[in-house]
Chain A
Amino acid sequence: KAGVTQTPRYLIKTRGQQVTLSCSPISGHRSVSWYQQTPGQGLQFLFEYFSETQRNKGNFPGRFSGRQFSNSRSEMNVSTLELGDSALYLCASSPRDLLVEKLFFGSGTQLSVL
């Protein structure tokens, strides 16, 4: 079974641009969650989707948004990029409920904002 796939692996953008990151969960998994990882703030929860519905959202500004498609693939969008958005963005999937199932993580997208 293929693991969680995140594309692209690396991305370089400039301030003010917008970016879309993609996450394909493990086949059959319906829950997808996103995390931002930076040296200063560590790992922070962005949002979680289950069956195309956003179930939980972290404390991030409205510039950060996401969605999940009917095939469970998920995208995360960041508009009006700021230097502080430079981070590793991790996606994770689980079969049903994020609470009781173990998470399977992708290798992340490293975003650099210049």
Chain B
Amino acid sequence: AQTVTQSQPEMSVQEAETVTLSCTYDTSESDYYLFWYKQPPSRQMTLVIRQEAYKQQNATENRFSVNFQKAAKSFSLKISDSQLGDAAMYFCAYRSVGGGSEKLVFGKGTKLTVNP
């Protein structure tokens, strides 16, 4: 079974600085999707960024970018120019492709605090 590990339960960053959240996963599959989701105190989860495993180029979305290392099974999220609104729980997630078992597997999350 696939597992997703986020080794940093909590992280903090100064406003306008850069922070990197770590995520590793375990799978024997070669094709899959990886995601970072954000959950603020309002509980409304939103997608931050998505990476397709067969694409070597790292995904970017404005201030958010990932460092995808397929061989190392690592998928870290970098937030540049951190803003107060970035404070939230961040979840890394994995989803396999095909095979009838395409459920989403989440890590335990990293709580990000942004200090003014």
A interface list, Cβ under 8 A from B = 33, 35, 42-45, 48, 55-56, 58, 88, 90, 92, 98-100, 102-103, 105-108
Contacts and interface: CB of A to CB of B under 8 A. Distances in A.
Counting chain B CB atoms within 10 Å of each CB, the highest count among A33, A43, A100 belongs to A43
Contact of A105 (B33, B46, B103, B109): B46
A56 B106 contact: no
Q: Chain B interface residue count: which class?
A: 20 to 34
B45 A42 contact: no
The interface residues of chain B, by DSSP majority, are classed as: loop
A95 to B, nearest CB: 13
A42 B111 CA distance: 12
A33 B104 contact: yes
10 contacts: A33-B104, A35-B104, A43-B106, A44-B106, A56-B101, A56-B103, A90-B45, A107-B42, A107-B43, A107-B44
A45 B105 contact: yes
B42 A103 contact: no
Nearest to A3: B44
B59 to A, nearest CB: 12
Nearest to A41: B108
A13 to B, nearest CB: 20
B106 A105 contact: no
B30 to A, nearest CB: 15
Contacts of B42: 107
Contacts of A90: 43, 45
Contacts of A108: 43
B91 A43 contact: yes
B54 to A, nearest CB: 13
B104 A42 contact: no
Given A43-B91, A99-B95, A99-B97, A58 B47 contact: no
